Chains A and B, each alone.
Chain A
Amino acid sequence: MLRYFKPVIFLACLAPLANLAWRGFHAELGANPIEAITHSTGTCTLVFLLITLSVTPLRKLTRQYWLIDLRRMFGLFAFFYGCLHLTTYVWLDKFFDVHEMLADIAKRRFITAGLAGFVLMIPLALTSTKGWIRRLGGKRWQALHRLIYLSAAAGVIHYIWLVKADLRSPLRYAFVLLVLLGYRMVASMTSRKKAGAGIAPATKIEVSES
């Protein structure tokens, strides 16, 4: 079942890119196409980060445990759109002007936050393979991959710091992120309580796919 389902999801994840390309080639990206590309790749990065973060709560709440098989793909799509977003900035906004980009990173806090969010995704993308999970060991791998919380938070802050006056849209992302992280806090507190009620101290931490 999942064998057939997964490629469909994979293609669906590419839909925003296909849509962007389609609109680009039909001159439907509006008066400032480069801005449109920047915004839509940025939005996709955030959306896929949040989708990735919603896999664990969703599979626990719905008991659809197979959902875990999609998490890596979603995470890598977040990284993929993040790469496109960064490329847009480096190429179409700064035209590879290293000096200007360094000044931006140092001076513009929304750039700093955005870059931090991206950089935090790099080790996660690199260690996303089965081989790396084995090499690092489940617990260490999991600890490392909690960096996605920071990455998503940096992404949302990047968006909040970027807008001029209308915070509605970035705050929507912030709200979803807080719900997803809040779920984890509550879940870990209740599981610690359970562990505390048991005989042994929490030597065996439940492998929760964060």
Chain B
Amino acid sequence: MLIKKASDIRSSEITSRSLYLNRRKFLAGAAVAGAAIAASTGLRRLINPTTVAQAGNKIDGIKKSPFSTTETITPEKDVTHYNNYYEFSTQKEEPADLAKNFRTRPWKVKIDGLVDKKQELDVDTIIKMAPPEERIYRHRCVEGWSIVVPWVGFSLSELIKRVNPQSKAKFVEFTTLLDPNQMPGQRRAVLDWPYVEGLRMDEAMHPLALLCFGMYGEDLPNQDGAPLRMVLPWKYGFKSAKAIVRIRFTDKQPLNTWNISAPSEYGFYSNVNPNVDHPRWSQAKERRLGEFFKRPTLMFNGYGDQVASLYSGMDLKKNF
């Protein structure tokens, strides 16, 4: 398979270091000027809250990745305090606190279905399968907001190659932990627990499909899907299952939780697509956290060069 690099870093577009530093000075100057005007200061702070980094275990030996975007990274505090993680709460501010004591070790991941090497793998065994890479991806929520996150992990294909799926296996299904004692959101049937998600085999093998166990150079925080989650940057956020306990290979298209909940609103593919609206709201624009104005949403969230071929010939309005 021919894998193209990220389209957003054509060499002609890479900012030279001196220019970059000048830009910083300019921005700093602008910030000072802005601070002079009380109202605008207020607005600045309103849309760009101060950041407080969270302590975590640093991951060693992280490699850079050509798939990374050069866009401004969203402050870690926002990414850790604005979480759609219904297993803990339907309120985005709450998982940070409710997941505080979530136990991520010991953690087993069951590999089964149409696979030669059915097994239960310890999450630490999985993490050591390949060297960790930092992948700075855009992440677009189906609700219309987006973030840029430096995830840490490696391509899911690294794991798939090692467990030998059978040729009949056409899909992969991910299952999130079911544990209402630890995950208070599961005590109510807001969704059909446990959370399940799925990918077509070629999607799962795509190098952009990231098996993720860290972000911002550290272990993945509990509220962001620790200890192991998927990150699929060209799909809406909910496709990226968190706290994965099972990876099953199958010949039938697996169900996915949001599709079960509202089939007319959330499809199996759920590729980011500005031309196909959610029935209740437009997907043409998005609000990047920290920005005041909305920005246009890009087809496949800007990863079209890499993934569009997976869907050639498909009616994306029908297969939303």
Give A contacts to B, CB under 8 Å: 24-35, 93, 95, 100, 103-104, 107-110, 161-162, 164-166
**What are 13 sample pairs from A and B whose C-beta atoms fall under 8 A apart?**
A29-B49, A31-B49, A31-B78, A32-B289, A33-B46, A34-B47, A100-B282, A108-B280, A108-B282, A109-B280, A161-B280, A165-B90, A166-B90
A5 to B98, CA, bound (A): 41
B264 beta carbon closer than 8 Å to chain A: no
Are A34 and B287 in contact, with the CB atoms below 8 A? yes
Are A110 and B49 in contact, with the CB atoms below 8 A? no
Choice from B82, B143, B280, B293 contacting A31 with Cβ under 8 Å: B82
Interface residues of B in 261-293 (CB under 8 A from A): 261-262, 277, 280-282, 287, 289-290, 292-293
Min CB gap A126→B, angstroms: 31
B45 beta carbon closer than 8 Å to chain A: yes
In the complex formed, the residue of B with least CB distance to A94 is B294
Are B190 and A166 in contact, with the CB atoms below 8 A? yes
Query: Once A and B bind, how many residue pairs between them come within 8 Å at the CB atom?
Result: 67
Are B49 and A24 in contact, with the CB atoms below 8 A? no
Contacts of A24 in B (CB 8 A): 42, 45-46
B191 beta carbon closer than 8 Å to chain A: yes
Given A95-B293, A165-B261, A27 and B46 contact (CB-CB distance below 8 Å): yes
In the complex formed, the residue of A with least CB distance to B289 is A31
Are A27 and B282 in contact, with the CB atoms below 8 A? no
Are A32 and B287 in contact, with the CB atoms below 8 A? yes
Min CB gap B52→A, angstroms: 11
Are A30 and B81 in contact, with the CB atoms below 8 A? yes
In the complex formed, the residue of B with least CB distance to A165 is B190
**Further contacts, 10 of them, CB under 8 A, given A25-B42, A165-B86, A165-B191:** A25-B45, A27-B45, A27-B49, A31-B78, A31-B81, A31-B82, A32-B82, A33-B47, A165-B261, A166-B86
Contacts of A166 in B (CB 8 A): 86, 90, 190
Give B contacts to A, CB under 8 Å: 42, 45-50, 77-79, 81-82, 86, 90, 92-93, 143, 145, 190-191, 261-262, 277, 280-282, 287, 289-290, 292-294
A27 to B43, CA, bound (A): 9
Contacts of A32 in B (CB 8 A): 82, 92, 145, 287, 289
Are B90 and A104 in contact, with the CB atoms below 8 A? no
Contacts of A95 in B (CB 8 A): 293-294
A27 to B49, CA, bound (A): 5
Contacts of A29 in B (CB 8 A): 46, 49
Contacts of A31 in B (CB 8 A): 49, 77-79, 81-82, 92, 289-290
Are B49 and A30 in contact, with the CB atoms below 8 A? yes
Choice from A27, A33, A110 contacting B280 with Cβ under 8 Å: A110
Contacts of B277 in A (CB 8 A): 107
Choice from A27, A100, A103, A164 contacting B50 with Cβ under 8 Å: A27
In the complex formed, the residue of A with least CB distance to B75 is A31
A31 to B294, CA, bound (A): 15
Min CB gap A169→B, angstroms: 9
Min CB gap A150→B, angstroms: 22
A93 to B143, CA, bound (A): 13
Min CB gap B309→A, angstroms: 31
Which among B45, B48, B50 has the greatest number of chain A C-beta atoms within 10 A? B45
A34 to B280, CA, bound (A): 19
A163 to B90, CA, bound (A): 10
Min CB gap A35→B, angstroms: 7
Are A33 and B143 in contact, with the CB atoms below 8 A? no
Which among B81, B262, B289 has the greatest number of chain A C-beta atoms within 10 A? B289
Contacts of A108 in B (CB 8 A): 280-282
Given A108-B281, A164-B143, A28 and B49 contact (CB-CB distance below 8 Å): yes
Are A162 and B293 in contact, with the CB atoms below 8 A? no
